[in-house]
Amino acid sequence: MTFSKTEAVLKRAMDVGLAGVGLAASLPLLAGVAAAVRIQMGAPVMYRQVRVGLDKKQFRLWKFRTMTNERSADGNLLPDGERLTALGRWLRETSLDELPQLINVLAGDMSIVGPRPLLVRYLPRYSPRQQRRHTVRPGLTGWAQVHGRNSLDWDSRLELDVWYAENASLLLDIRIILSTVWMVLRREAVLSGAGAEMDEFWGTAGPPSGGPRAFPVEEIESIPS
C-alpha cells in the first residue's frame, strides 16, 4: 500500500511541522548533548553515515556520536561494544543520539514514521519481500520500534517494517508517534548493551565462515556518484 496523493502531502506537512517544532524546541538540549559529546569524545560531535532510503536511494544520516574511534594495533576499528562510552549508552537508551535526524526529515530524506534506515551493505542480503521496506520513506521511529525496538531479532524486525509498508496510513503514523513517546519515556525494549552487541544482518546466507558477527557500524561508506 502506498499513500494517496493527498495523504502524501499531509504526511509531508506533518513531517515538516513536527521536525521544525522539534528542532526549535530542542535547541538547548541539542547544544547540551553536543557539548557533552565534545568534552568526552572530542571532535567530531556528530557523524554522517550513508543509509538506504525510499526506492533504495542513498543519503547521509545524521547522528550524535556514541562511540570512540579507537582502533586495534592493525588499524581496524574495535568492536562497537568496546567503543561505546557511558555517555553514548545513555544517549542510545534515551534516543537522544537520533535527534539530529530531524535535519534529515526536513531535507526529505526521512519521515517521522517509517522503517529505520539501515546500512548500504545490507541491500543484497534482503529477501524480495524484505526489499519492500524501501517502498516507503524511512523514519525516526516505526512499527518495528514500537513492537520491541532493538530487542527484536532481524527477521521479526524486517517483517514488521514490511507490514508497515503494506498498511501505512496517517492514523497509523499518529498511533506510532504516541507509542514511541511512551516507550522512550519508559526506556522500554532497550538491550543492555544499547544495541552495540547486536549481530549484523546477514540474510538467509548467514555470516561468513570464520568471519565477525558484525562489522563496526560507523564504518565509512560513500554514496555512489
19-62 pLDDT tens trace: 999 999 999 999 999 999 999 988 889 888 899 999 999 999 99
Task: Convert the pLDDT of each residue in 94-133 to its tens digit.
Answer: 889 999 999 999 999 999 999 999 999 999 999 999 999 9
Of 216, 107, 126, nearest to 115 (Cα)? 126
pLDDT of the residue at 10 = 93
What percentage of the chain has pLDDT greater than the value 70? 86
**What's the average model confidence in pLDDT over 152-174?**
94
pLDDT of the residue at 186 = 74
pTM, to two decimals: 0.85
Task: Convert the pLDDT of each residue in 166-195 to its tens digit.
Answer: 999 999 999 999 998 888 777 665 554 445
Instruction: Please answer whether residues 51 and 58 qualify as being in contact, where contact means their C-beta atoms are separated by less than 8 angstroms.
Output: yes
Distance of CA 110 to the CA centre of its chain: 10
pLDDT of the residue at 193 = 44
Of 58, 62, 56, nearest to 136 (Cα)? 56
Instruction: Please answer whether residues 183 and 148 qualify as being in contact, where contact means their C-beta atoms are separated by less than 8 angstroms.
Output: no
